[in-house]
Amino acid sequence: MNILAIFMKHPEPGKVKTRLGREIGFDEAAELYQAFQLDLLESTQRTSDQRVIAFSPVAEASRKYFVEHANEDDLLWEQPEATLGERLIQVFDDFLNQDNRVVVIGSDSPSLPNRLIEEAFRQLETSDIVLGPACDGGYYLVGQRTRCPEMFNDISWSEPSVLSQTVERIRNAQQSLCLLEPWYDVDSLDDLQMLREHLDAMRTSNSTENFPMRTFELTHKLLAEL
């Protein structure tokens, strides 16, 4: 079984996309992050056998929000109150077994093509681990066929060396690795402007596979107001 887990936060102003919020306003950043989420929830419905919405924080308001927006076939999984590495270890512990392949993505890449998620599952047929490198030095996707908790240990998550540190851990664990093509997250005003230009180009070229329409419209609106 192919299992896709999407890490998401309850879109509360001042608690999500805070770097972007300092540049465009915290209410606006939270609204944009919600658009990211809704577009991803719509576009990834058929990319796996089972979809898991890994949400935080652990609170009744968060659960109510994701119950409202998730599909009835989705599984809701509360992220533990722990470091990112510990949360990733836990989600693989809970869903990975000899019959499953598990891929985890975040919700900061609304333009991520489904083909990269599908390619990750294909690569896990022969590789132990798959990573999708992000342009900021981290990664937008991680998948496992074989458990490798040590790949998440002692990582400097806020540094641009996340990918290189992770690859070193995988090498030391003697696990096989496949790399996907790079993609980008949206964390800053510069990223948001690049996203707008990329989506404009996609529309012009008629490249509309899982096109994030909510994000497209709101990005134009917010940038026009700056």
Q: Which fold has domain 2-225?
A: Spore Coat Polysaccharide Biosynthesis Protein SpsA; Chain A (3.90.550)
**Are 153 and 169 spatial neighbours (Cβ–Cβ below 8 Å)?**
yes
pTM: 0.97
Any idea where the domains of the chain sit in the sequence? 2-225
- How do the pLDDT tens digits run along the chain, 226 residues long? 999 999 999 999 999 999 999 999 999 999 999 999 999 999 999 999 999 999 999 889 999 999 999 999 999 999 999 999 999 999 999 999 988 999 999 999 999 999 999 999 999 999 999 999 999 999 999 999 999 999 999 999 989 999 999 999 999 999 999 999 999 999 999 999 999 999 999 999 987 778 999 999 999 999 999 9
The pLDDT, as a whole number, for residue 178 is 98
Kind of pairing between the strands at 139-144 and 101-105: antiparallel
Mean pLDDT rounded to a whole number for the chain = 96
**208-225 confidence digits (pLDDT tens):** 778 999 999 999 999 999
Inter-CA distances, 49 with 25, 103, 119, 138, Å = 38, 11, 14, 27
Q: Is 46 exposed, middle or buried (0-12, 13-18, 19+ CB in 10 A)?
A: exposed
Across the chain, where does the E strand assignment appear? 2-9, 50-56, 75-78, 101-105, 129-133, 139-144, 177-179
The pLDDT, as a whole number, for residue 4 is 98
**Are 64 and 6 spatial neighbours (Cβ–Cβ below 8 Å)?**
no
